[in-house]
Chains A and B, each alone.
Chain A
Amino acid sequence: MMLSSFTGRQWIDRIARWCVSAVGYSVMLALAMIFIFLLLQVAPLFSKASITPLAKEDTVASSFRLLGSVVDDAENSTRQAQHALKLHRPVDFVLSTADTLFLLERDGRYRWLSHQGTDSRRLLSSGQLDIAEITAATMSPTGQTLLVASVDGRIHPYTLLHQELIAMQPIATSGTQIQQLLVQASTRSVVSLDDSDTIRLFHIASGRELAHYHWDKHPNSLMQLSEDEQYLQLTAGTMRQVVKLHNPHPEASWRQLVRPVHYEGRRSADYVWQSSTVSDNTEAKLSLVPLTIGTLKAAWYAMLFATPLAIFAAAYTAFFAPVSWRYRIKAVMEVLESLPTVILGFLAAFLLAPWLELHLLLFLGSLIIVPVTIMLGSCGWFYWRKKQQYGTDQPSWWLVLLSLLTGVVLTTMLVSNAETYLFHGDFLSWLANRGIDYQQRNSLIIGIAMGIAVIPTIFSLTDEAIYHVPTSLTQGVIALGASRWQALSTLILPVAAPGILAACLLGLGRALGETMILLMATGNTPLLGFDPFQGMRTLTATLAIEAPEASLESAHFRVLVLAALLLMILTFVVNTLVTLLRQRLRHRYLQL
């Protein structure tokens, strides 16, 4: 009886252990899966494009329609153009789109005409391309990009912008002369066929070679694209070969994500994030640089605002203030930490931003004047106390508050006068005259709003780090005659430094991942640079705005996942550092 009940209990014990362990494992697995799943989502972004020949029977089976006969087309349009323009001699390349006609000579002279209807033609521009000899030329169906192959085997893309040809980065190929060029419009890529009978696929904007395929020894071959642009037919005499162009995500590569790219319709190479395009005619521009800079900029201004305030406040709470205060202040901070950021974002966007626009000078002025007032207050107080032979360690809080308020009042008075006399009554227009553009939703707003969100995080950890420094250390130094500040600055802060660093890092981690404040109060324009009076667009805000609209398999969605992964890794690294630092701190305190 005894024995059986014992084994029963043992069984229960064992089953319970299994169950709990199973749940534990599954939770860990689920958390690891997040990372793996996101990685799997990103991976296809970097899968290679390919050109694969189709077997004869597949060719027959796959019924695709070709985009007209190239030869006929070219001849037709050439004849048409000659007829219409009453040209005396044939033009080497006649490129036509729906409403423009581009006539190009081998030596680089060109004429560019618009044609509406059948016979109303107008010369848009003419000139000379800076190319010695042209071997092949083509134009994208939208008429935005002209591609010209020169005799040295390079492809020169031009973008047509306001009746002007703007040269883009030339695409370097193998160096063999190119016979024919075709544009794969849907992917913004170009297919080239050169003298060595190799087909190469390039992404136009980035100049990246995506794939190539060698068709054995068939001189004078011709390429034709299928209507859906998925297949390419090669013909040489009676020989025929169909290849499949597999080009899944040409718009996303490391180069495009992190380097400046010259996109069609733009004047120069730049970092551009423009994922949702107005029409199908414009390509998605997916540079992560402006977004990453936006994230860093927002975090930088938030930390600039939060770090000094939080560390000083925590030092006071942990070291100078009475212990009974400490608990109350910590409770307040805990509430502040849990404040939903959507509320902060709302206040920042609809109260702080309009207020700061009217009182910018007041804010900037108080950054200087208030500290000066506090300095004066402290100095005066110190000598007064000394003269009276009181202790000089602890000012009472209302004195500090008084000097703080004095500073604010003083600033208000000074600033309204300064604005009238120095800045002709309006600081913002004074700034604007000096070429400084002030946006209502700018980095200062973000600095303050996100600073408020980050302060409690930094505060709590700093407070813990300083408070838990063994008291024997402090007592020793104070017994030797140091003031409390001297004890703090020379002894306690160095000891607690890893903890304070951890606090700042944790705050940084929070600032990097914050979304709602940034979504509401930044203006969400992807900008470069760290200008304090300009807004930004961050990775997180972009995720929140664009992810619901991006379709699952698209390059856009995968790039967004990549951005998420980037954020995840960034915060994970930061948080791991925090954990390590805190462990080290604990170890250090145990040793002391």
Chain B
Amino acid sequence: MKQWWQHGSLWVWFSASALLCTLLLFIALISLIVGKGLQHHWPADLITFQVQTAEGGRATVMGQLIKQEPGNHYTTDNQSEIDPSLNTAQQLLIDQGDTWFMPSQGATARYIWLDDGNVLQRSKPADAIRLDMHDGRVLFGVLQSSDAEPAIVDTQQTAIDLPGEPWLLLHANGQEIQVDTGDVKRYHFPNSLNGLQKSLLFLKQWWWFLTEDPHHQSTAGGVFPAIFGTMVMVLLMSVIVTPFGVLAAIYLHEYAGKSWLTQVVRVSVYNLAGIPSVVMGLFGLAFFVYVLGGQLDQLFYADQLPAPTYGTPGLFWASLTLALLTLPVVIVATEEGLAQLPMSQRLGSYALGATQTETIWRIVAPQAAPAMMTGLILAVARAAGEVAPLMLVGVVKSAPQLPIDGEFPYVHLERQFMHLGYHLYDVGFQSANTEHAMSLSFAVALVLLMLIVLLNLSAFMLRQHLRRKYKLVQTSMEGV
């Protein structure tokens, strides 16, 4: 025992399990987001449940099975005293589509819990239809009227432009709903789709999700404005941050001598990377929006006062704030690239009679370009994932207009915009219909995650490639 203790095998095991834990956590996290995010658009089967009610009667519920878990969600009226025997009963969460508009009868909640023990029979009727309405409602049921014969309707067809007789939809609770075909945005028969058709529909749903506007307090529709807003903001930020960051790095590394002052400045700039982003947001709000924006308004938009034009949070201020936030990232990465270039190359250039500017322009900058690129990508990745500062300087839940449109002057820097990260915060938090919002949030999170991971991985690859390349240069130089 003592030998084992002294040898330290225990600690090796602990450190190995710490690593495994971390990696497992990471894998669980990513797979959770990916899994749940993808699930949101998967055309799930519509299942009809024959349920025994508490009074002994029978009821029918049709919908998508969201999840199944052992639990005590609806066991007894007394919450604190839970019968352990009931804990084993499976609970099913069913999405039965929107029912709020129906006259009183039946369950009014979209999501309901069923006790598995009460389910007498499950079936998947092939003619079950899912209707997505223009007003955001989702309806499940079976078509009754004659002119939309389920057998003939193309299951992949999704946009209806045939006006005609209103359809009669039989909902599972026995009510017949009249549906105007003009109100139907899309429909499909999930139970009669085969795997390939489902996959195609899945891809289509993703496409719609990425390209459509959100509606109904962001609980329905797509996320296009959020993606667009994020992109435009990040692009604008890059335009601002790149020249300043790169030139500042060149100044620090090539021009400013090696005095202690330079060292202090360098350390301070590096440390600015660690300043909480929300602090930068507050600075953006106080200085850019209130001070600069207020001044701009008084100078150029005095006729519109007191309605502020630039004196209110907006796209330009958000980009500027994030540029300030990511400036250290670009400076650090660029300086790293500059430092990796061997001094001998600069000396060689000088020896051939080149001035310092020519050396930097022709020799140093081109070789450090990938490092600058890396810095920019890292900055973009950070900016795309930041939410807290944006909450102060211009992001909104839903923007009526995109920051770029066909209206003169085409680019509207003063407009507020939507952002993927904030959209996730908003959808997750503000939405009343939590189950639905959860599922939607995962889809949004997946989009955001993909964006960030792609950006970061490319930066990582670029940097690794760069390091290897310069290692080669250095070793070959040493060989000489």
Contact = CB atoms under 8 A, between A and B. Distances in A.
A276 to B, nearest CB: 16
Interface in B338-379: 355-358, 360-361
Contact of A548 (B20, B287, B392): B392
Interface residues of A, number: 114
Contact of A336 (B26, B82, B267, B361): B26
Interface in A1-55: 9-10, 12-13, 16-17, 19-21, 23-28, 30-31, 34, 37-38, 41
A561 to B, nearest CB: 6
B286 A572 contact: no
A575 B361 CA distance: 33
B279 A485 contact: no
A571 B286 contact: no
B356 to A, nearest CB: 6
Interface stretch (B3-11, B180-188, B189-197): B3-11
A375 B84 contact: no
Interface stretch (B125-133, B158-166, B202-210, B445-453): B445-453
Nearest to B287: A37
Contacts of B74: none
A512 B452 CA distance: 23
A483 B7 contact: yes
Contacts of B151: none
A368 interface: no
Contact of A13 (B25, B356, B381): B356
A321 B247 CA distance: 41
Interface in B61-96: 71, 80, 82, 84
A309 interface: yes
Given A21-B251, A425-B84, A574-B274, A320 B16 contact: yes
Interface stretch (A65-73, A170-178, A395-403): A395-403
B10 A378 contact: yes
Contacts of B387: 340-342, 515-516
A334 B374 CA distance: 14
A9 B358 contact: yes
Interface stretch (A204-212, A248-256, A345-353): A345-353
A520 B429 contact: yes
Interface string B280-308: 11110111001000000000000000000
B150 interface: no
B276 A571 contact: yes
A338 B388 CA distance: 15
Given A9-B358, A329-B23, A515-B388, A510 B274 contact: yes
A334 B277 CA distance: 19
Contact of B9 (A9, A378, A510): A378
B15 to A, nearest CB: 4
Q: For the complex, would chain A's binding face be called helix, strand, loop or mixed by DSSP majority?
A: helix
Interface stretch (B107-115, B139-147, B420-428): B420-428
A560 interface: yes
A9 B244 CA distance: 24
Contacts of B234: none
Given A342-B425, A520-B428, A544-B281, A579 B267 contact: yes
B214 interface: no
Interface stretch (A105-113, A181-189, A310-318): A310-318
B221 to A, nearest CB: 19
B276 A23 contact: no
Q: For the complex, would chain B's binding face be called helix, strand, loop or mixed by DSSP majority?
A: helix
A401 B16 CA distance: 9
Nearest to B386: A340
A94 to B, nearest CB: 45
B457 A335 contact: yes
Given A404-B20, A548-B285, A338 B382 contact: yes
Interface string B242-281: 0111011011101110000000010111111111111111
B388 to A, nearest CB: 4
A378 B26 CA distance: 25
Contact of A37 (B10, B13, B283, B421): B283
B138 interface: no
B324 interface: yes
A347 B424 CA distance: 11
A513 B277 contact: yes
A567 interface: yes
B8 A486 contact: yes
Given A346-B445, A378-B9, A426-B80, A515 B385 contact: no
A420 interface: yes
Given A23-B251, A377-B13, A557-B286, 18 more contacts: A31-B327, A34-B283, A310-B22, A312-B18, A317-B19, A329-B19, A340-B386, A342-B421, A347-B445, A375-B13, A386-B3, A400-B17, A506-B274, A513-B277, A540-B278, A547-B282, A548-B391, A572-B271
